[in-house]
């Protein structure tokens, strides 16, 4: 392998360096296979140059070097060297199997983009490429390790790219690759990718902050040195073997804190922290006690990630102390093994097993997450939706809750009780009827907090509701609910889709009953399996009725001479569609939004929402107004029907004096006014003078609601009443 490389400029990754590193842990026979992969890659990329002017082979070598730092096996190193040959040089997978074996070829295939397929948009192509990569990762975690090494080297050498391309790649890195690196515990790569992305997305902010940190480094050198000496001497006096060193927050970490907490740089006091690495598990807690005796701890600033480790396997004790001159100082305390996992995550563990031959705890967690990707894939309709679900699960913050049997479940921060149910099993989530948190009844949408004990109540007759999609947080829950709504409520979705398409065609003077030949052409061009599938897609919001109608009109016009009635209709594609009539009892394909809870008499508008069908909002709903600006094409006119033989939920807030019997009087008046009480809650002010009552009541329409509110306003002790529009 040495001496076989293309001539590389100084400072560029070389084969000699790679060989030296690999020889430390690969066998001679494995090294020979890696050399063969290098020679093939060098031959394939011969004459190809990078944007920076370097020979292209320098990039695969650099990627292999990063993988060698993690001591990945020979197959992974070979795949790193070959990772672009299928995509760039049109080498077939069969040829790679013949030369290097099926495992290496499968890794390379998982890393290659789907360049040969035609997609409707760049966004769709990108989503499908991510989907392919993530599913390959779910089957073999080495795929993502090589891909992260590839992305890291590309980000390090992004300077020669055009400005817009740099920003696009940096944004993609921040949104997908950074959270994946964090989820797998690859903290070194996570931090470097964050800073590199930050430097390309906001170059001026990056340079300004970099200068400020350098200046602060000099100003705070005395404080840092004093703390370092005090901590070292204090720990040494206990006879403990400990390494103590200062660490600096990343520039992006400082920037994020400034942005989230609206701080200036001078207000970010914990730019520096300290890490204490001790020789045993028990000494982590001994060191903690020693530090708390040396400096006063800040209340509420201690976290024990050793007793309950993070999702990615990270373990450390975190504490913030008041150092010299009143400056807050953060300490992380861990063992050498914990430090290895903290820096390299799953890459530090994936090769190794416990002494009993079983998977390590980190491997089990990683395997469970990767398996969840396969579960989401089975329930997901398209690539963009799959990527959306995965992104949701990649948020770094976690909350840890307990089952009634004291098993710890980790969920993304903001997860609800219903997310907890789906994390146990899809069937449990689908059949959830109620939940108890810390032995008290709670709403399904209740956000969970660390330490909560969660108990799920199920019933075989219970089924998912479209409203659940408005508050569940995890990808697994969202994909399971959407899968159910797509399959179980197919008939309702088809019926709604037919209505919407018929109205859109009617506005264009086209008969809704399509000739067989035209229907066949429409299905071929829209990739739908049948007209029912097409109608169902329209009914759940995956396709827009107006766009499908215009497509049909275009097909008709292509077969007719100019000047025909259909041709004339084509010029009126902007014709206003007749509004959809809402009765409130159409089933799950049409439902009233829980944010504004429209009732008859309210002005309303309809949103065609993916996999939720038609969602009805009031015209003055603030959430609807914001969403309408973002996606104006997904909104249609809707009106209330004449025969509404049902009642509708509505929230009211009542401010009352805190006196005996007032709740009973209000509840009695609601009953006297012929309204039903669905839910009641109350909030008391600090002075205990006033109480705010929160009712969800069922009324017939706005007139009924107005009469109810007038009657309640007359009650003694009621000072204010209003409708809660959230």
- Lowest mean pLDDT segment, chosen from 295-304, 349-358, 398-407, 689-698: 349-358
Mean pLDDT confidence for 144-161: 87
Let me know whether 526 and 636 are in one domain.
yes
Q: Which of 7-16, 135-144, 411-420 has the lowest mean pLDDT?
A: 7-16
CATH code for the domain of 652: 3.30.70.260
Does one domain contain both 96 and 115? yes
Radius of gyration of the chain (CA): 31
Q: DSSP label at 604?
A: E
User: Would 600 be classed as within a structural domain?
Assistant: yes
Looking at the fold, whether 483 and 493 belong to one and the same domain comes out as no
Tell me 8's DSSP state: -
Is position 23 within any domain? Answer: yes
pTM score, whole prediction: 0.52
Please report which confidence band the pLDDT of residue 706 belongs to, taking 50, 70 and 90 as the band edges: very high
User: For the chain, how many structural domains are there in total?
Assistant: 5
Q: Tell whether 608 and 522 lie within a shared domain.
A: yes
Distance CA 439, CA 437 (A): 5
- Give the end of a domain, one of 182, 200, 218: 200
Of the given ranges (210-214, 369-373, 380-384), which has the lowest mean pLDDT? Answer: 380-384
pLDDT grade, residue 7 (50/70/90)?
A: very low
Question: Residue 285: which of 333, 242, 331 has the closest Cα?
Answer: 333
* In the predicted structure, residue 607 carries a pLDDT above the cut 50: yes
Residue 355 has a pLDDT of 40
Whether the predicted pLDDT of 713 surpasses 70: yes
Residues whose CB is less than 8 angstroms from the CB of residue 202 and which lie 6 or more positions away in sequence, other chains included: 255
Mean pLDDT of 476-503: 78
* Residue 177 DSSP symbol: I
3-state secondary structure of 83: coil
Q: Are residues 531 and 605 in the same domain?
A: yes
From CA 284, how far away is CA 42, in angstroms rounded? 49
Domain CATH for 215? 3.30.460.10
Share of the chain above pLDDT 70, in %: 78
Task: Tell me, yes or no, whether 483 and 494 share the same domain.
Answer: no
Residue 350 confidence (pLDDT): 43
Buried b (16+ CB within 10 A) or exposed e, 541-552: bbbbbbebbbeb
In a domain, 363, yes or no: no
Could you tell me if 191 and 90 lie in one domain? Answer: yes
Same structural domain for residues 65 and 166? yes
3-state SS, one letter per residue, for 370-438 = HHHHHHHHHHCCCHHHHHHHHHHHCCCCEEEEECCCCCEEEEECCCEHHHHHHHHCHHHHHCEEEEEEC
Active centre residues (catalytic):
87-88
What pLDDT does 140 receive? 72
Residue 387 lies in a domain: no
Among 135, 73, 130, smallest CA distance to 104 is for 73
Question: Which of 180, 200, 220 is at the close of a domain?
Answer: 200
The band of 11, judged by pLDDT with boundaries at 50, 70 and 90, is very low
552 and 498 share one domain: yes
Of 640, 671, 698, at which residue does a domain stop?
640
| 602 and 633 inside one domain | yes
- In this structure, is residue 671 part of a structural domain? yes
Q: Which domain holds residue 689?
A: 648-723
Name the DSSP letter for residue 578.
P
Identify whether residues 299 and 428 lie together within a single domain. no
Domain match, 43 and 158 both: yes
Choose among 596, 698, 611: nearest CA to 646.
698
Residue 510 sits at φ, ψ, to 5 deg, of -115, 135
- Tokens 């006014």 locate to 673
* CATH number reported for the structural domain that contains residue 169 in this entry: 1.10.3210.10
Please return the burial class of 259, using the count of CB atoms within 10 Å of its CB with bins 0-12, 13-18 and 19+.
exposed
């Amino acid at each position: 392998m040495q001496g076989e490389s293309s001539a590389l400029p100084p400072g560029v990754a070389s084969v000699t360096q790679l060989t030296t590193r690999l020889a430390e842990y690969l066998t001679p026979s494995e090294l020979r296979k890696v050399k063969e992969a290098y020679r093939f890659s060098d031959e394939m990329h011969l004459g190809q140059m990078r944007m920076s002017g370097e020979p292209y082979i320098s990039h695969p070598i650099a990627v292999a070097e990063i993988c060698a730092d993690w001591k990945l096996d020979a197959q992974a190193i070979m795949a790193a060297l070959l990772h672009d040959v299928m995509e760039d040089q049109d080498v077939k997978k069969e040829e790679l199997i013949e030369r290097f074996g099926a495992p290496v070829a499968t890794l390379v295939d998982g890393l290659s983009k789907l360049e040969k397929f035609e997609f409707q948009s760049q966004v769709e192509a990108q989503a499908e490429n991510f989907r392919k990569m993530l599913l390959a990762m779910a089957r073999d975690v080495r795929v993502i390790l090589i891909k992260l090494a590839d992305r890291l080297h590309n980000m390090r050498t992004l300077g020669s790219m055009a400005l817009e391309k740099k920003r696009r790649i940096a944004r993609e890195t921040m949104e997908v690759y950074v959270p994946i690196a964090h989820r797998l515990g690859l903290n070194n790569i996570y931090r470097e990718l964050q800073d590199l992305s930050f430097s390309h997305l906001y170059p001026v902010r990056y340079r300004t902050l970099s200068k400020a940190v350098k200046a602060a480094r000099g100003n705070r050198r005395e404080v840092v040195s004093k703390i370092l000496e005090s901590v070292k001497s204090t720990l040494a006096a206990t006879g403990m073997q400990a390494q103590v060193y200062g660490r600096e927050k990343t520039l992006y970490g400082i920037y994020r804190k400034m942005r989230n907490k609206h701080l200036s740089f001078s207000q970010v006091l914990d730019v520096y922290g300290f890490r204490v690495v001790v020789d045993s598990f028990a000494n982590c807690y001994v060191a903690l006690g020693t530090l708390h005796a040396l400096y006063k701890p800040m209340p509420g600033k201690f976290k024990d990630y050793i007793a309950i480790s993070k999702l990615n396997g990270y373990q450390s004790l975190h504490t913030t102390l008041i150092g010299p001159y009143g400056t807050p100082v953060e300490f992380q305390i861990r063992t050498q093994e914990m430090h290895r996992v903290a820096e390299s995550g799953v890459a530090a563990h994936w090769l190794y097993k416990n002494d009993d031959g079983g998977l390590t705890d980190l491997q089990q967690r990683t395997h469970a997450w990767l398996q969840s990707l396969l579960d989401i894939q089975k329930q997901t309709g398209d690539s963009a939706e799959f990527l959306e679900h995965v992104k949701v699960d990649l948020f770094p913050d976690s909350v840890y809750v307990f089952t009634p049997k004291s098993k710890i479940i980790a969920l993304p921060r903001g997860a609800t009780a219903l997310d907890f149910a789906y994390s146990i099993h899809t069937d449990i989530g689908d059949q959830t009827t109620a939940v108890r948190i810390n032995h008290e009844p709670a709403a399904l949408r209740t956000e969970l907090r660390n330490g909560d004990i969660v108990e799920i109540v199920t019933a075989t007759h219970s089924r998912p509701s479209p409203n659940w999609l408005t508050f569940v947080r995890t990808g697994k829950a969202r994909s399971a609910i959407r899968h159910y709504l797509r399959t179980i409520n197919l008939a309702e979705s088809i019926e709604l889709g037919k209505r919407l398409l018929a109205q859109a065609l009617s506005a264009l003077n086209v008969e809704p009953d399509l000739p067989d030949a035209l229907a066949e052409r429409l299905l071929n061009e829209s990739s739908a399996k049948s007209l029912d599938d097409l109608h169902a897609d329209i009914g759940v919001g995956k396709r827009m009725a107006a766009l499908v109608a215009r497509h049909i009109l275009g097909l008709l016009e292509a077969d007719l001479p100019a000047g025909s009635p259909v041709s004339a209709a084509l010029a009126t594609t902007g014709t206003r569609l007749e509004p959809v009539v809402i009765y409130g009892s159409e089933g799950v394909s049409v439902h009233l939004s829980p944010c504004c809870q429209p009732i008859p008499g309210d002005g309303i508008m309809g949103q065609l929402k993916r996999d939720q069908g038609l969602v009805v909002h009031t015209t003055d709903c603030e959430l609807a107004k914001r969403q309408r600006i973002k996606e104006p094409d997904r909104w249609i006119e809707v009106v209330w029907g004449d025969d509404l033989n049902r009642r509708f939920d509505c929230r009211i807030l009542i401010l009352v004096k805190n006196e005996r019997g007032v709740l009973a009087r209000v509840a009695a008046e609601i009953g006297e006014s012929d309204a039903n009480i669905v839910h009641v809650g109350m909030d008391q002010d600090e002075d205990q003078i006033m109480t705010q009552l929160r009712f969800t009541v069922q009324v017939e329409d706005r007139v009924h609601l107005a009469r109810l509110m007038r009657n309640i306003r007359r009650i003694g002790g009621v000072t204010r009443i209003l409708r809660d529009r959230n």
